[in-house]
Chains A and B, each alone.
Chain A
Amino acid sequence: MPEENSQETPDTTDVEMTKVVITSGEPQGDESDGSPVSAEDPQAGANDVEPSVGAKRPRRELDKRTLSVIAGLLVGVLAFAITVQVSQDDSSQDFDTLRGAELAEMLKSIDASNQRLAEQIEELSATRDELKADTSNTAKAEKAARQRADALAILAGSAGAVGPGVQITITAPAQAITASVLLDAVQEMRDAGAEAIVINGVARVVAHTWFADDDEGVRVAGRILQPPYVIEVIGDPHTLQKAVTFRGGLADRVSARGGTVEVNKRESISITALADELEGQYARPAK
């Protein structure tokens, strides 16, 4: 459209046109402050040049066409730039448009928060280490407690036990072996470091196990046992064996009563019998 206009109006009239425009532009200037200046100033400049170039008509025609092409190009460049700029703002952060001072301010605040966060990290990792140590301590304590509980369970006869030891077989005529002999035998074993003792595979001997003579044999913690008595003991086999066979010991005493004692060292003795649980009626843990 603009091209047609400019082509229709010859150069000579062009000057008149612009002059008219200038006069007409003034009243508008009143309404819209300095607004017309943008359009008028360059136009006025163009008017100054036009008369001098106006002499060569064909060249100006060509110029007009190329100029309108250039104008179109410029609009295209503008559209391109706007599009690029808009998409740029979408994709990149807003730091591009910030100036040095603002960036420095930002950097400072980021540094400060960075430092704060580093301190926080330090504190938190210290806390974490503490908690970790606590946990491992707790785990250690728990493990120790469990081992102790296991040991105590074996001592109390509330758990089965496996380990090296000796098997003592006492064969004797009925009534020859009394409760005191068996108790002595057990005591000898304990002196030799026995950790778990069972008689005839059923009577687990623990701290509160009692022995009593009975018509049919020996009553051990309520169970009646009859010869042959087989005492299985877990402990150091060598020491246990010595404890049985030393002069004046169990073996001598049993043979004095007309019986025999046989001691066999065993690599592994398995005790499965459990002691009756003792329900403490009087004793309570002291605090």
Chain B
Amino acid sequence: MSALATQAAVSCRGVIKEFGSGETRVMALRGVDLETPAGEMTLLVGPSGCGKTTLISIIAGLLDPCRGEVSVLGTSLNQLRGRHLVSFRARNIGFVFQQYNLLPALTAAENAAVPLIIAGMDRPTAVKRAQAMLGELGMADRANALPAQLSGGQQQRVAIARALIHEPRLLVCDEPTAALDAHSGRIVMGLIRRIAVQPDRAVIVVTHDSRVYDFGDRIVYMSDGHIERVELNGHAHKE
């Protein structure tokens, strides 16, 4: 077990985030403290507007907190700025988005290869690796299809392949099942659980889909900008 597996992969201390100013000021996070270990899938759950997306954006280094400390994989994000932060994200974080955000002009394999191309790998090699990754996700026969030719569940699988292809140590997923029916949603969560959860990798999933709660090892309930309670799920779904 790596050193990372024994310590918190993500650590938030007193994180506050406000948007706007004056009368239009909105307090999205009101002092969040959170620790998520590697080797687990953590679900961030709660009603719309409770601050889940803001928290995951800050953890992923896409938003700066107004106050508080955020440490990811042992690195303080408060200390990283500009290209250092971008580089940290590119190397260490994988993203799965609610709307997939696949590039419509690229095939499934090409989409999955994008993080490797960003990292500087030559295109043929990157696409070859992406094809192998899609094979692991049961998409080998659809590797050359365009996103418009894929179902929602298939597109999300491509997005998962894209998120994991560069072997990030933190995977953040934003409502990965929101655009899918219940059956497809469970398949996608099962894949994330099976492929993404590794001893040296933390997985954080934002969701308000209670039907997939059983996939998480840890469920963080949020309400009105703070963490209400954390439940350890001893019966996490194992496939």
Same assembly: no
* Contacts from A to B (Cβ < 8 Å): none
